[in-house]
Structure 1
């Protein structure tokens, strides 16, 4: 059922409002009323009626002002407005139509005329609205169709461009293929599904085809047979899978030539094999290198198999890839046990296996060779020693591919070294024993000189003094002789005391620091060379042997300075570094030449 049209009636006269509302209600219109201009504007914006009957004379605004505001509002500008007025002035009608009114009714209004005009204008407005909507719909369809046509055009243009680009690429690809194929030294041929050549490049012209008779000045196929070659080609055509075959040919000079032939299927748009491309690569040089490498490998194995030295090879995973028979002879381990296994699988060396593997990996990482000493117990429980020289093995690209180890049995050499070290140890023990005996002898001699000879000299001096005292006044010659003897005797006593001190300094009983302080002072007094002891130690507790050793080292060093250095100053340094005693002696003398150190008749400071 159609919804009744709505009418907004604007008039300040209640009588007119009542009459017009009554008539319009009888004509099945929904009627809304307003008595002022502002009220009419509010209701029009809120209700959006299908038509407005507007009186010109209103209490707050004129009908013209109300119409002007309605037409300036986006929400109400399309609502038809019919002016109602008692004035029939021409200017008012012109003003109303100018402001956007669609009709003009003169009061009093006839109901039939009112119905017809309202219905007509509502229908016109409805038709106008439908026309606008239809127009908008048509414009949208046209725009959509235009966009579709534009997209189709762009797609068509893109497809044409892509096809042109594809054709250009195809032509370029064909040209590039021909250029590449003609410039390559490798023979290239194309076979159709009947195994007929449809293309061949220049190098391939010199190779006899499978469907061609023998030709002069052509490479002739020796192996495989022509039938087998054709069968392999047919297999690629039937299965669409690439294949390769090794061929042997004879060149026009009857030399053997090796080619590796690759069969590559070519497909049509339906995925079916349409042809097969054959590319031959000359591997004669590679075959010759392989033969030379095999010969070199055989020579290496001949050398390694008969070598008395141990020869091992390890891959990058530190697994044995070669062991020569000498290894089994030296270690009594069967080679089969160690083949393709890491060293720690059968390891009985004294060196931990992880240390040995770490050395191998370091050689692989750095490329630097290394020497390794391996010791183990033989079956007779004797210790065996091998000196291994390990170097990195590289391929033709200079990349490390493993480690080569060559081992020399140095068991006898190590045994000789041990015997020599034992002899040295015994020699040091004998030397220490001899020095101990010499020190004891010095102590004994020093004690005897001090206790016996010294006392005898003192008794003799006392007797000379007594003789001078008793008879010197009466005999002047005797006194003079006695005085000379006393002077000589005093020098002898001093010499005896000095000799006893040198043999066994008594000052050592007070400590090594005091002994060294006395020694440098004695050296300064006796030689005139400035000598000074530098130490922060007040005293150092040492046993008699160690104290005597330090004292003798400093004493001998000062003697050497006096004899050889021609120095004017000597400094002696004594310090304690943790539990190590450090003694340093320096002078400002002439030093010693390197060739003077090579004396074979002296042990130097070591002695």
Structure 2
């Protein structure tokens, strides 16, 4: 029958017979014991050392070491020798039992096992062992407590004295029956009395009190005794050296069983430091609450624990909104993270940082503040707090900015004055020298402005000057500076000048603002201007020289008839005059019918067939003669004349292509070059669609050529325009590929059909292996991307052979034909039809 009582404890069974192990384990487990078992004595020693059981059942006869040896080793080990060992054995002789008891065993259980015997014996020995172990622990604990209490009692008096000394606290007792008063040692020190000379008593105590407090102290003690009530009083003592200290005295009545007062006892404590600290705290709190500067107190982790009213007034954050926030909750994007890192490093190293900081207020504004942050450490050197003091300096900043602005700007026109101009000019010269660039200085003087002042008065003249300043600012780049030197003299500083054409264009823009009349107070008047130009570094390397030379050039412009410009250097002036003449002629080129188109065949190098043409613009002026494209195309770009000229080219190219197709010539496409300005400043897709409809040309016969630089400028806008053009059926070619900002991403992103190899990579084939490698790579790239490929600048048969070998689709160049006017193009096409399969070099010019 199984027992219903469950026992606690852990038992290790050691027996080399598995059946015995299983039987004992089942019996003991059913009784609630935790059981571990092993068949080997060595393993048993390891297991017992690890689990420290409450009892061990040990078989005597086992292979290896027997049960006696296991028991002997256990009893030799201090950690486990107290664990009871019960031997289990079929042997039952008195010799065996005696040996087991001598080795430390506590009992024997005979085999075969009787369940009740096993359970009873084991329960008895485990209970005895657990009780003994608990008594041992209690005894050791009691001994420890006795030792501790003894030590406490021995040290109590010394500890009390030490505690009183630390707390500046003394105790006293007044026996009413004997009228004797006793003091603790600390009382003598507090009252500054000599224990060898002073007899404790009320008189000695009261006599040491400040004269102004003696009556109050004496009355308090008397009332306490009469009313049997405790008392508490603060008073002063006057020491021999005349110094004053503050004491806090407590007293209490002691009564006997009959409720008669027998004693009065109490304490006195020197509270001078606390009183002084309290006064300082009250003063600091008054300052904290009433100061105009904002104050923030944080803990060691910079979490805000207190702010004063001024902080809320300055920032808009109320006290409860700031407390708990980290000190960085007002940081602004005005400062980089490195700025705040520098502050923290200074606080860690020096404990203090002062400076200006832009912080965010509750209304999201960012205000400048003068800030001082101090790190607070305790006597042990541990960081405990941070204190930030801040002042709103936004008004001061505005005043400084206004003063700074007034110091550097002309009050009439709001332009830069001479001081600011000199500063920017010197900075511009330094930058230009470092970057190997140029800058230009344009000295502007109004023509006959004195007559305006004399005729209409200075107020009217001032109105003219302000209008001139406004128009000048509207015409300048954001990087340019316009300044008024005084009177009717203005100077423009133009930095990062790449070539002379930019200066000429800027000068023409400035002169153009004087074309329209000025109308202050509804009085229209025409004003002209003369401009003198000096250029760094050619005309000077310092501000004073450049201004002086620009002034000299301005007088040259005056002498040339006014309302014009002149360079300080005569050669530049001549070049500017030539460019101005060319621009004037170019503006009339379309209306004077001076423009024409030539067409250069684009050929299949393998078959010699001409199926493609490129339209090229030509200009002939009766005064200038034939002007090459490399001269007038950049001028057209700089003056935006390329927009109407480009439209003329596109329209005429489509008309000529339509005529050729109607005449039956087997041509596929005509290529027309497009400027970036045509994409940026006009609706090119709309223009292309209108011209195709107007001329009747099928969109599939039109190809537009763009350079890589076009793709760089406003790529999103360019991508939209090119996609719209492609949707019309028009194809697109990248011209001069490899000479600009070549990028495979352009070929992938933009809707390009064909790549044209620039002639600079074809010209030296086959003599330059590098050019061969580049041309070969571009051809392979186009083929891999399934793009068309055209090589331009082909002039020799060796170049043609190379292109055939590399499977280049099309080629163009003087080897096949120079650009031809329409009438000679027809002759060329007729001749090609007769010799369709022959490819002969072109010898005609």
TM-score by length of 1: 0.35
Whose helix fraction is larger, Structure 1's or Structure 2's?
1
TM-score by length of 2: 0.27
